[in-house]
């Protein structure tokens, strides 16, 4: 479904505990916001898309230094699967660029990764394509400033039927997540990212994280889905952390891990994960880390399998990646490496040890206390 844009958008330029699955009962139509403001509403729980992965999953791995070519090459083995699944759906490429400043350029989606995705899609898909992101924090609150800064805007002149969308200004849906005080917390989610009529592509990076250890294709979508800051409205992304930051020093990722899983169950996840590891981010990621040369690109139509292979390639202990493990246990994808088939480069031959975030021990204390290996 095409998302009408607000008037500021220039088209073609531009723990395993049970949780109360509470949500509002009223339905909400899909539409972008008008100039008067963003539309809000509630949708029934379970009204988003849902996938149940059975059998083995394929993860394609390519080595290289040319970001555009490596991205394209990683996607090529998946062409039949992707083309058959897109069908008549609206394609949305969600970039990772929610903090548009010059200093965060190296932490964000590079335009050549998007070019590689568009080159791949152009071989079988002729429909319109949305490139979407919403500002999490910036001086202007306008995502189009970020598109310009990061070199995304020129893509609308290089390719046909490309529209840049400020996702914060599209329709929002109220969902409920978990707070550490054991209560549900309302949060407004960008509906585009779980609309079953859309085909969501996550243009993500290999990055360490300051709360959930590492971030790949899934987290790019889920943490991009809470409405960010614009027109004086504060961002709601902080709610995903469940109010625990600074309260229990070694439990900072506990609620965030659960809430990522919670929203994935509501359909907030990528249909196609594309992870750029030509350069990754190590150390104080996701937004203050250091670039490291790695020379790889990863793609899969199973986001759990995709992110599991990324976990292994970064030499991250899979035991601490609970939000992904839970998605696998829920059937959203394959977390068990015995159910994942890799195509291309051998993961063991291209794995390197990323330096973890300095607060790593604070991120994983709750896991060590509550789970057995």
183-190 and 172-179 strand pairing: antiparallel
- Rounded to 10°, the helix 254-265/322-329 angle is 30
Per-residue model confidence (pLDDT) at position 43: 63
Per-residue model confidence (pLDDT) at position 25: 26
Which of 233, 232, 169, 214 is CA-nearest to residue 306?
214
Quote the Cα angle for 131-135-139, to 5°: 135
Q: Which two tokens stand for residue 246?
A: 């600074």
Residue 98: how many CA atoms within 13 Å on its side-chain side?
27
Cβ pair 53, 97 in contact under 8 A: no
Read off the pLDDT of residues 230-273 as tens digits, 9 standing for 90 and up: 888 889 999 999 876 666 667 779 999 999 999 999 999 999 99
Read off the pLDDT of residues 136-154 as tens digits, 9 standing for 90 and up: 766 677 899 999 999 999 9
The pTM score is 0.88
- Domains, the chain, in order of start with CATH, read 57-370 (3.40.50)
Q: Which residue, chain included where needed, has tokens 């490429």?
A: 93
Which of 306, 138, 148, 341 is CA-nearest to residue 221?
306
Q: Which two tokens stand for residue 63?
A: 């080595």
Which residue intervals of 214-313 are DSSP H helices? 217-222, 254-265, 303-313
Q: How far apart are CA 113 and CA 174, in angstroms?
A: 32
Read off the pLDDT of residues 154-208 as tens digits, 9 standing for 90 and up: 999 999 999 999 999 999 999 999 988 788 999 999 999 999 999 999 999 999 9
Cβ pair 199, 271 in contact under 8 A: yes
């Amino acid at each position: 479904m095409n998302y009408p844009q607000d008037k500021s958008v220039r088209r073609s330029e531009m723990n395993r505990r049970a949780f109360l699955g509470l949500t509002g009962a009223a339905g909400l139509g899909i539409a972008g916001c008008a100039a008067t403001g963003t539309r809000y509403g509630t949708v029934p729980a379970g009204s988003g898309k849902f996938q149940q992965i059975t059998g083995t999953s394929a993860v394609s791995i390519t080595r290289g230094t040319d970001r555009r070519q490596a991205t394209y090459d990683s996607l090529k083995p998946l062409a039949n699967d992707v083309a058959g699944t897109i069908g008549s759906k609206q394609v949305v490429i969600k970039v990772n660029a929610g903090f548009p400043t010059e200093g965060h350029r190296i932490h964000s989606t590079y335009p050549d990764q998007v070019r590689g995705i568009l080159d791949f899609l152009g071989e079988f898909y002729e429909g319109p394509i949305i490139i979407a992101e919403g500002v999490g924090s910036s001086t202007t609150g306008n995502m189009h400033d970020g598109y310009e800064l990061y070199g995304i805007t020129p893509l609308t002149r290089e390719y046909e039927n490309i529209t840049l969308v400020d996702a914060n200004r599209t329709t929002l849906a109220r969902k409920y997540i978990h707070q550490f005080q054991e209560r549900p917390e309302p949060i407004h989610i960008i509906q585009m990212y779980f609309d079953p009529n859309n085909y969501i592509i996550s243009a993500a990076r290999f990055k360490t994280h300051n709360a959930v250890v590492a971030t790949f294709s899934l987290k790019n979508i889920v943490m991009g889905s809470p409405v960010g800051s614009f027109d004086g409205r504060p961002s709601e992304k902080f709610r995903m952390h469940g109010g625990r930051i600074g309260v229990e020093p070694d439990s900072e990722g506990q609620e965030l891990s659960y809430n990522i899983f919670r929203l994935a169950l509501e359909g907030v996840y990528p249909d196609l994960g594309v992870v750029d590891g030509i350069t990754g981010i190590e150390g104080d990621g996701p937004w203050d880390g250091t670039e490291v040369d790695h020379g790889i690109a990863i793609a899969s139509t199973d986001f759990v399998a995709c992110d599991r292979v990324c976990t292994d390639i970064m030499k991250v202990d899979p035991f601490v990646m609970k939000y992904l493990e839970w998605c696998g246990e829920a059937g959203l994808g394959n977390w068990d490496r015995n159910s994942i088939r890799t195509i291309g480069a051998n993961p063991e031959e291209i794995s390197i040890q990323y330096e973890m975030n300095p607060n790593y021990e604070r991120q994983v204390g709750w896991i060590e206390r509550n789970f057995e290996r």
